[in-house]
Amino acid sequence: MRPVLADVYAAAKVIAGVADRTPLVPSPYMSGVCGHEFLLKLENMQPIGAFKLRGALNAVAGVQAAAGVTCCSTGNHGRGVAWAARARGIRAVICMSELVPQAKVDGIRALGAEVRIAGRSQDAAQAEAERLVAEEGLTEISPFDDPLVIAGQGTIGLEIMASCPELETILVPLSGGGLAAGVAMAAKAIKPSIRVIGISMDRGAAMYESIRAGHPVEVEEVPSLADSLGGGIGMANRLSYPMCRDLLDDAVLVSEEEIYHAMQVLYYEDRIVAEGACVVGLAAVLNGKVNITGPTATIVTGRNLDMAMFTRVVTGQDVVLGDKVIEGKRYGA
């Protein structure tokens, strides 16, 4: 069941001309910090603003049932599934709880998907998706624990290795692990000596804790600047957990303060507007948490951020995340 390199090549054909070939650009500032070339894979340039379109296109293309597809993600995976279903002319129903902000509901609707509001929790939304599968014949697409999704995300690994064969390390933002599993599998199949390191925020890092525990564990979800990295990996995880466990050379954590600073670095030094989830690789390097030995790349995974929050970060203001306050600091001050 584990996807292999041939599945990634097959996915590359499916997404060709739609979600492939994002730029891989050098960061002069980060290269100076590392003493080695440091490259940014710009998945923030994707049509939906995030890499998840790759996996969603591949998974939706693989769905046999004409009835349509469903998922529970209100974030980038929900956008990807909505976009891919519209492109293929099939129905997409995105299930969410009453607590989801209206802007997110509107964003998904604008991509042509139906929105189904069910109850006051993520569990209620999940139950509704399962009902749609059982009663209406829809196919549920997991954001990370699906072989076609993992193979789709793996196309990023193919493209990075084709552009820069001399690469030694890839730093991958890590949440449910579909991205890290696909990229590590593809890159290592092409170049076994490549190091692939997963990076998460230090509050609520489900995959990191699961790898340490030796089995999937649940973690408490707390607000983070890297909000796209929140959420669990599923206690019945079949693919992304064992693949990350076996393929990642290391998994490291960065703090909210380190993410805050790295968002400023990416903005002021590289002039890139991107989500907190994208800068965890930069944060790890800037704080000496990974040892860089040669050419290195990281993936700028998406741009779908809360602009009010982003403005606070780049202007050096305090940011409140639930019970945590990140003290403001102007860049360069």
Which residues form the interface with ligand PLP (CB under 6 A)? 50, 52, 75-76, 143-144, 173-180, 228-229, 275, 277, 301-302
- The residue among 174 and 187 lying less far from ligand PLP, judged by its C-beta, is 174
User: 67 or 105, CB closer to ligand PLP?
Assistant: 105
- Shortest Cβ 182–ligand PLP spacing (Å): 8
Tokens of 131: 């009902």
C-beta of 32 vs 207, nearer to ligand PLP: 207
**Residues 153 and 183: beta-carbon distance below 8 Å:** yes
Least separation in angstroms between CB 246 and ligand PLP? 16
202 vs 316, beta carbon nearer ligand PLP: 202
SS3 assignment, position 97: coil
Nearest-angstrom CA–CA distance, 245 and 303:
28
Distance separating alpha carbons of residues 178 and 182, to the nearest angstrom? 6
Q: Which helix (H) or strand (E) holds 139?
A: strand 139-140
CB of 178 to ligand PLP, least distance (A): 3
CA pair distance 11, 56, nearest whole angstrom: 10
For ligand PLP, the closer of residues 83 and 131 by Cβ is: 83
Shortest distance, position 302 Cβ to ligand PLP, whole Å: 3
SS3 304: coil
DSSP 228: G
Smallest distance from ligand PLP to CB 81, Å: 12
Distance in Å, CB of 52 to ligand PLP, minimum: 5
Distances from the Cα of 157 to the Cα of 54, 86, 100, 259, 293, angstroms: 12, 26, 33, 24, 19
Q: Where are the alpha helices (DSSP H) in 76-217?
A: 76-88, 102-110, 122-136, 147-163, 178-190, 206-213
Task: Please check whether residue 253 is in contact with residue 207, taking contact to mean a CB–CB distance below 8 angstroms.
Answer: no
Cβ proximity to ligand PLP: between 178 and 216 the closer is 178
Task: Give 305 or 319: the residue with its C-beta nearer to ligand PLP.
Answer: 305
16 Cβ neighbours under 8 A, 6+ residues apart:
none
Specify the residue, 27 or 153, whose C-beta has the smaller distance to ligand PLP. Answer: 153
Give the neighbor-by-neighbor strand order of the sheet with 114-117: 114-117, 92-96, 69-71, 139-140
Spatial separation of the C-alpha atoms in residues 278 and 291, rounded to whole Å: 19
Q: How far is the CB of 273 from ligand PLP (least distance, A)?
A: 13
Q: Per the structure block, which two tokens stand in for 244?
A: 């990350």
Closest distance between ligand PLP and the C-beta of residue 73, in Å? 8
